[in-house]
Chains A and B, each alone.
Chain A
Amino acid sequence: MRLGRYELTLEPRPAPPAIFTALTAVVAILLALALSSFLFLSSHTRLIDAYRAVFSYAFFNPHGVLATVHRSIYLLFCTYAFLVPFRAGLWNIGLPGQVYAGGLAAFAVPFVLRAHDPQTLPLPPGLLIVLMIAAAAAAGAATGGFAGVLRAKLQVNEILVTMMLNSILFWLVAYMIKEGGPFMSATGEGESFGLPSSLHAPLLLGVPVTAALALGVAVLLDLLFAKTALGYRIRAFGENPAAARYGGIIPVALSLLVFLLGGAFAALAGYHYFAAVPGVYKIPGNYGYYGDLGFYGIIAALIARGSSLGAVPIVVLFAGLSVGARFAQGELRLPFGVDYALLGLLMMTFVASHVLYHFRFAWRRIPSEALQSVPTELPEG
């Protein structure tokens, strides 16, 4: 674009410094928050009150803080589930499906072992809980791994396969918990049976053990990508699959591995939500809401640019925002879905920041020779 003597162009940034990465993330989030002000305009409330309602509930109200912690754990696992395949250049958008797979498998353990009646526990409860977690992770890994194998062996588009699996598992959960399905609660209210109290995930300082797991994985994943050969292979494959293959990296094994890991993480999110959050301990009728919330994991991993530790503060903020927004929605009588609208806005600002991350606006003075006007008068003769 030309403006007088200057030209404005968009040119690629060679190698953005690390501080710039953090800065774009902060800018993207702030911009999304600024844009979300428009959502609150319809509510006839002062903007500042709306934000105060969101943040004070999410981070200062005792109920809100607990809800934020639980949701953070859930979203952290979803973030890893997207992040690991993404480092290998693959898109795992099957988070809801893998979450459901994890929930179903976890509940299958007490169901199959006839342990949903508290009087007849066949095994020690500790062992049963470990079994539930293992079953969830295995089911999620299988669901994810299925997409990974198809991608690796046949180059089947993983976005399509994981999305189809989301719909399939959504309806399978409906079958299992509704209209006389095997997991339906005794009261027949379209939700699963509740876990007996001995099978609730143990609490550490009032927080489910899954919290420790989620934070531990954050450290391990960053170490994996920064310090190990496997992490290096995954990154190399993500940057340039063809070059990676020349370098002796086996695409099939790698695609399978990242999807197995991703699926297992999403399933742990499912386990956490359905079997470890106090007050839930069942697959509720509105499980679809929590499944779709998993998409926050995509945006968190994208904004954190693949760093699992970097994702932690982002996820806590998003969890708080979505919890607080849901609260403010009732308080300020806003339409349903403020939390989803925020998700959409974050995605938009992320794509915009992605552009600024890779490109920069450059002002160039156009050399005066190039601007020299053509003589208007014909030369003599």
Chain B
Amino acid sequence: MWELVARSLEASTIFLFAALGELIDQRSGVLNVGLEGLMLFGGTAAFITAQTTGSHALGFLAGLALGGLLGLGHGFFSITLRGDQVVSGMGLWILSFGLTTYLGSPYTGPLGLGRIPSLWGLSPFFPLGVALVAITWLLLFRTGLGLAIRSAGENPAAAEASGIPVTSIRFLCVTLGGMLAGLSGATYTLSYNPVWNYNFLMGWGFVSLALVFFSMWNPWILLAGASLFGIMWQLSLSPELILPGVLSRYVWRTVPFAITIPILCIISTPWFRTRWGLAKPEALGRPYAKG
């Protein structure tokens, strides 16, 4: 039982890292729908680096670096050029999907390094995730920088007028967000499931993106949502633990995705949106033109 819980929590850290990065992005007003692409690239870079150098640490660094770099690229397009953020995000995703399939395929198979040591069977990434949630919450709601980030996402013109460098703040956030997405991908390929195969994420990134909307942009609610989805994901992989012999295992695999849709609907109802509207960054997805 503990094993299942520990494994679920490890799965949830992958959702959590990526979604936390996206949350910081969105709080500053930048929407990155290419989250899955950043994770694919981060995960593949981490896997290839770790396998060639034999070092987990270098792998994680590669994942972080590439994630940050791609986040920066998204920032260049959406902040500097004020392009359509959805076009850029979707572009990043398809670019990653295509290139990682090609670059990773010679490495198809297990990582072949020792497992990352666990604490009483629990992956060390879960406590790291909880710590990151606490840090993000403190950063966003208890520091001047956090106030600057939130105001850049709510009303960039007013923020700029009060002396906040909106462009730099947004660049900082997309880079941080990209690094966290890269970390999430690296955690997947180096720890959770250290095997590279074609399109290994199969929708984790999009579920993480949905989680940010569910969280009402609050890191603590995000933690709860990610944990819930981690458990659900793990159960969908081994349904025999609760309902042995009921339905095909393939049908169970659809459950986490199928549940996401009604939740998305509920949070979009006018009844819910009266609450939601208050939390959604006002300037989300809108480019900011100084002047």
B202 within 8 A of A: yes
- Chain B residues contacting A348 (CB-CB under 8 Å) are 91, 95
Assess whether B199 is in contact with A292, with CB atoms less than 8 Å apart: yes
B98 nearest CB neighbor, chain A only: A344
Assess whether A335 is in contact with B106, with CB atoms less than 8 Å apart: yes
* Interface positions of B from 235 to 290, Cβ below 8 Å from A: 248-251, 253-254, 257-258, 260-261, 264-265, 268-269
A160 and B210 in contact, given A154-B269, A354-B83 (Cβ under 8 angstroms):
yes
Interface string of A213-241 (1 = CB under 8 A from B): 00000000000000000000000000000
Assess whether A341 is in contact with B98, with CB atoms less than 8 Å apart: yes
A163 and B203 in contact, given A337-B101, A341-B98, A350-B91 (Cβ under 8 angstroms):
yes
- Chain B residues contacting A164 (CB-CB under 8 Å) are 203, 206-207, 210, 257-258, 260-261
Assess whether B87 is in contact with A351, with CB atoms less than 8 Å apart: yes
- Which label, helix, strand, loop or mixed, suits the secondary structure of the A interface? helix
Assess whether B95 is in contact with A344, with CB atoms less than 8 Å apart: yes
- Chain B residues contacting A292 (CB-CB under 8 Å) are 97, 199
A284–B47 Cα gap in the complex (Å)?
A: 30
Contact of B81 among A10, A93, A160, A350 (CB under 8 A): A10
B266 nearest CB neighbor, chain A only: A154
Assess whether B265 is in contact with A179, with CB atoms less than 8 Å apart: no
Q: How far is the CB of A335 from chain B (nearest CB, A)?
A: 4
A82–B260 Cα gap in the complex (Å)?
A: 23
A161 within 8 A of B: yes
Interface size class of A (residues with CB under 8 A): 35 or more
Contact of A340 among B77, B97, B260, B265 (CB under 8 A): B97
The total number of A-B Cβ pairs within 8 Å is 138
A350–B94 Cα gap in the complex (Å)?
A: 11
Assess whether A337 is in contact with B102, with CB atoms less than 8 Å apart: yes
A347 and B95 in contact, given A10-B81, A354-B83, A359-B81 (Cβ under 8 angstroms):
yes
Assess whether B269 is in contact with A175, with CB atoms less than 8 Å apart: no
- Chain B residues contacting A344 (CB-CB under 8 Å) are 94-99, 102
A295–B77 Cα gap in the complex (Å)?
A: 22
A278 within 8 A of B: no
A275 within 8 A of B: no
- Chain B residues contacting A161 (CB-CB under 8 Å) are 261, 264
* Interface positions of B from 195 to 230, Cβ below 8 Å from A: 198-199, 202-203, 206-207, 209-210, 213
Contact of A171 among B102, B106, B250 (CB under 8 A): B250
A5 within 8 A of B: no
Interface string of A159-182 (1 = CB under 8 A from B): 111011111101110110011010
Q: How far is the CB of A183 from chain B (nearest CB, A)?
A: 12
B33 within 8 A of A: yes
Contact of B102 among A154, A156, A298, A336 (CB under 8 A): A336
- Chain B residues contacting A372 (CB-CB under 8 Å) are none
Q: How far is the CB of B19 from chain A (nearest CB, A)?
A: 13
- Chain B residues contacting A104 (CB-CB under 8 Å) are none
* Interface positions of A from 336 to 368, Cβ below 8 Å from B: 336-338, 340-345, 347-348, 350-351, 354-355, 358-359
Interface string of B58-99 (1 = CB under 8 A from A): 000000000000000000010001010011101100111111
Interface string of A119-162 (1 = CB under 8 A from B): 00000000000000000000000000000001000111101110
Assess whether A343 is in contact with B33, with CB atoms less than 8 Å apart: no
Q: How far is the CB of A182 from chain B (nearest CB, A)?
A: 10
- Chain B residues contacting A66 (CB-CB under 8 Å) are none
Assess whether B251 is in contact with A172, with CB atoms less than 8 Å apart: yes
* Interface positions of B from 1 to 42, Cβ below 8 Å from A: 33
A334 nearest CB neighbor, chain B only: B102
B105 within 8 A of A: yes
Assess whether B206 is in contact with A163, with CB atoms less than 8 Å apart: yes
A53 within 8 A of B: no
Q: How far is the CB of B207 from chain A (nearest CB, A)?
A: 8
B268 nearest CB neighbor, chain A only: A154
Contact of A298 among B94, B203, B209 (CB under 8 A): B94
A193–B140 Cα gap in the complex (Å)?
A: 56
Assess whether A351 is in contact with B88, with CB atoms less than 8 Å apart: yes
* Interface positions of A from 13 to 60, Cβ below 8 Å from B: 39
Can you list 8 A-B contacts (CB < 8 A)? Answer: A156-B268, A157-B213, A160-B210, A161-B264, A172-B250, A336-B102, A336-B198, A340-B101
Which of B's residues lie within 8 Å of A, judged by CB? 33, 77, 81, 83, 86-88, 90-91, 94-99, 101-103, 105-106, 108, 198-199, 202-203, 206-207, 209-210, 213, 248-251, 253-254, 257-258, 260-261, 264-265, 268-269
Which of A's residues lie within 8 Å of B, judged by CB? 10, 39, 91, 93, 150, 154-157, 159-161, 163-168, 170-172, 174-175, 178-179, 181, 292, 295, 298-299, 302, 335-338, 340-345, 347-348, 350-351, 354-355, 358-359
Q: A336-B105, A340-B99 are in contact. List 4 more A-B contacts (CB 8 A).
A: A157-B213, A159-B33, A163-B206, A354-B87
